[in-house]
Amino acid sequence: MTALVIAEHDNASIKGATLNTVTAAAALGGDVHVLVAGHNAGAAAAAAAQIAGVAKVLHADSSALAESLAENVAAQVIALASGYSHLVFPATAAGKNVAPRVAALLDVAQVSDITKVVSADTFERPIYAGNAIATVQATDAVKVITVRTTGFDPAAAGGAAPVETIAAAADVGKSSFVGREVTKSDRPELTAAKIIVSGGRALGSSEKFNEVLTPLADKLGAALGASRAAVDAGYAPNDWQVGQTGKIVAPQLYIAAGISGAIQHLAGMKDSKVIVAINKDPEAPIFSVADYGLEADLFTAVPELVNAL
């Protein structure tokens, strides 16, 4: 029984989500191999080899794999699938894009967003925006799984796995990469941050959002997040959205400022270790999950908080 982890990388380095995925794969009980499919991704493959618990790294190099197009990455995974009992992806935008395509091509079901490995075929996963936890058993011969990264600790460094170069699958030729617009940020990545400062509709404008929350985030070395309302209103970029349909986060400290706490938002942050809510509405549902609630106007409370730190 061997699990293949499909690494998320940018050709130069391995993304953090891969480390949590390796931990989940190791919990399945067999060997763990890692696939690095990319273009000129030797550095990423070398980095993958250093993850503790990895027995082998498979490195496929082709210009067709450069931008991680689902059609081509899926073809690459299919070419390898026969040797594996489990195909394990991080439940990130990239993993969610490719994994179901692989599962369908193998005619097997996929288990999405697992938060716990019960046994090699049984997993826990949240459903209904995290309002229920389902324990499910996959009955297919090959298990295709995506891993909720906040459910597992990142694997440590210190491995020394061999890197094996493998043949790259041919370009499927049905899609091509056009371009990318990356949100520039020198803050910690939202899904990996230890502290997150998140703002909601109550901030009122993009200017206020930055003016009020940036100093607090700077002070704490925190990532900035946002509720859907704040993103839809244009106060914050899309990829800052925390919730059922945005990022799922579980930092040490989550500060929710001016966020009411709709079910869909709670689904993305309620596994945080400590939750602080700052809201002037005493009835806001966010107070029901907050460890510390401050009933105050955020426009005075947040600057006060910055001063007090």
Q: Among residue numbers 254 through 273, which ones bind other proteins (CB under 8 A)? A: 263-264, 270, 273
Which residue has tokens 């996959």?
138
Nearer to other proteins, 49 or 242 (CB): 242
**Please, what is the minimum distance in Å from the beta carbon of residue 230 to other proteins?**
13
The window from 23-31, 39-47, 178-186, 197-205 that contacts other proteins (CB under 8 A) reads: 178-186
253 binds other proteins (CB under 8 A): yes
Residue 141, token pair as written in the block:
């011969």
- Of the pair 118, 162, the CB lying nearest other proteins is at 118
Longest dimension (CA), the chain: 61
Residues 107-146 that bind other proteins (CB under 8 A): 107-113, 122, 126-140
Q: What is the C-alpha separation between 30 and 76, in angstroms, rounded?
A: 22
CB of 131 to other proteins, least distance (A): 5
Q: DSSP of 48-70, one letter per residue?
A: HHTBTT--EEEEEE-GGGTT--H
DSSP 8-state secondary structure symbol assigned to residue 276: E
Distances (CA, A) of 305 to 131, 138, 278: 32, 48, 11
Three-class DSSP category at 241: strand
Stretch that binds other proteins, among 28-36, 70-78, 80-88, 161-169 (CB under 8 A): 70-78
Which lies closer to other proteins via its Cβ, residue 20 or residue 92? 92
Binding to other proteins by residue 198, rule CB under 8 A?
Answer: no
Give the contacts of 67 (CB within 8 A, at least 6 positions apart).
177
- In this chain, which of 82, 83, 158, 174 binds other proteins, going by CB under 8 A? 174
Q: How many amino acids of this chain bind other proteins (CB under 8 A)?
A: 87
Alpha-carbon distance values, 294 to 32, 123, 254, 297 (Å):
46, 37, 13, 9
Asked if residue 289 lies in contact with residue 261, where contact means CB atoms within 8 angstroms, the answer is: yes
Helix (H) or strand (E) holding 6: strand 2-6
Q: Return phi, psi of residue 127, to 5°.
A: -130, 170
238 lies in the site for other proteins, by CB under 8 A: yes
Q: Is 71 in the site for other proteins (CB under 8 A)?
A: yes
Residue 86 within binding range of other proteins, rule CB under 8 A? no
Residue 252 touches other proteins, criterion: CB under 8 A:
yes
CB contact at 8 A, 4 and 35: yes
Smallest gap from Cβ 11 to other proteins, in A, equals: 14
Which 144-173 positions form the footprint of other proteins (CB under 8 A)?
172
β-pair type (31-38, 2-6) = parallel
Q: Please tell me whether residue 101 binds other proteins under the rule CB under 8 A.
A: yes
Comparing CB distances to other proteins, the nearer of 31 and 264 is 264
Residue-level length of the chain: 309
When asked if residue 176 is in the footprint of other proteins (CB under 8 A), the reply is yes
Residue numbers 37-56 binding other proteins by CB under 8 A: none
Q: How far is the CB of 161 from other proteins (least distance, A)?
A: 26
- The residue from 46, 214, 237, 250 that contacts other proteins (CB under 8 A) is 237
The footprint of other proteins on residues 277-296 (CB under 8 A) is 287, 289-296
**Using CB under 8 A, which of 175, 218, 281, 297 touches other proteins?**
175
Do residues 168 and 76 make contact, with C-beta atoms less than 8 angstroms apart? Answer: yes
The two structure tokens encoding residue 186: 């020198």
Q: Give min distance, CB of 157 to other proteins, in A.
A: 22
